Structure 1
Amino acid sequence: MVNDFYVKNLIESWGSIRQFAKEIGCSYEAARKMRDRNSISPKYWNIIIQLSESKGPPWVLR
């Protein structure tokens, strides 16, 4: 079974690219590029995981 993970969906769980960028500590442009590439820069994964666990989006595996 293939797990279809899309960065766009992750970013949308924050409500907007701008909010996502603000909370993870990157520029709007960097967040937009991550969405367009469908790839998160490795330097942001830890903060995204920490924030996601506290927010509880449905895609987070516990």
Structure 2
Amino acid sequence: TAAPVFREFLTQYIEKFPDTTRKFSVPNGVYRGNYKGESAYYTTKSPLPKANMKFNESEIIF
């Protein structure tokens, strides 16, 4: 995955620009909800999954 490369980039970026804002401001139209006991963000176009959603392990979910 790209995660290790991104981590290295971000670490070096913060070292070079220590005053960079690190807080995430939620844009308009993005809401905060709870999914499986955890806080999650969602939109009207991409809602949180329904808790009773059933799926077949062999199928792909998009």
Q: Which one has more relative contact order, counting CA pairs under 8 Å at least 6 apart? A: 1
TM-score above 0.5, yes or no: no
Q: For the pair shown, which has the larger CA radius of gyration, 1 or 2?
A: 2
TM-score, normalised on structure 1? 0.22
Higher helix share: 1
Higher strand share: 2
